[in-house]
Amino acid sequence: MTIENGHQHENGRRKPVRVYMDGCFDMMHFGHANALRQAKSLGDVLVVGICPDDEIRRNKGPPVMNNDERLAAVESVKWVDEIITNVPYDVTADFLKTLIEDHGVDFIVHGDDPCLGPDGRDVYAAVKEEKKFRTVKRTEGVSSTDILDRIMRCEGDLVTKPTKMMNGENGMNEMNGTNGTNGTNGLKGSNGTNGTNGTHGTHGTNGTNGIKNSSPFHRPSTFLPTTRRLLEFVGNSNVAKGDGINNVVYVDGAFDMFHAGHIAALR
């Protein structure tokens, strides 16, 4: 056995670099997938640890998706090679030893954002002490917290306001109220669609900023998937050209809050 550039070689072959990344992967989204993609690029084999419900509850609060649903989501990601379930949220020295000795992990990867436990300690402190820690860039504009915020905004808009829509209260979202949906005196506003009080006017659907600034469906998003990033996701297709594939199946859908049911349908 020889060692070259920090990698062991057996019989003249380079030992595969095994990378470990853990997480809750609750309401799995583009940011999770991009983190896993980046982690895989740092090695040859990506081992993913999934924290169980009780660990998430103890450290972050109750998860939205259960163990099986989160496992199905991680399994569907093409960059994931192996999965370890029921891993601790805090990567202690003992668990790090288990990862190295039992799973052959070379180093641990996490996003470049802080990851703290309930006591405020860095959950990767032991890993960093052993110089086994690497980071990948966090995906801007998307997070589980942001998705939960969107859900709460939609709930407030769609659940608490239908009564006002029917009764015409406050001139906010009424179809028949005195102030109208989009203006002062009617559906399109007293001065027309684009007038002072119209759809995009000063006094739009929900107040002074108009419909585009107050509706949860139209609020500005900072998420920007660039062409370069999309191409990074397209690569490494499991279907190679010339494989004799005769049937191409088309499936459409909204795929909002992508979950285990969507994954099962696509499979």
* pLDDT tens by residue, the chain, 267 residues: 333 344 555 566 789 999 999 999 998 888 889 999 999 999 999 999 999 999 999 998 999 999 999 999 999 999 999 999 999 999 999 999 999 999 999 999 998 888 888 888 999 999 999 999 999 988 776 777 777 777 777 765 555 554 444 444 443 343 333 443 343 343 333 343 443 343 343 333 343 333 344 444 445 555 556 666 566 666 655 555 555 667 888 888 888 878 888 888 888
pLDDT of residue 49: 97
What is the Cα 214 distance to its own chain's centre? 24
Nearest Cα neighbor of 163 from 153, 174, 152, 154 is 174
Buried b (16+ CB within 10 A) or exposed e, 82-99: eebeebbbbbeeebbebb
pLDDT of residue 218: 46
Is 0.85 surpassed by the pTM of this model?
no
pLDDT of residue 66: 94
**Dihedral, CA atoms, 90, 96, 99, 104, nearest 10 degrees?**
150
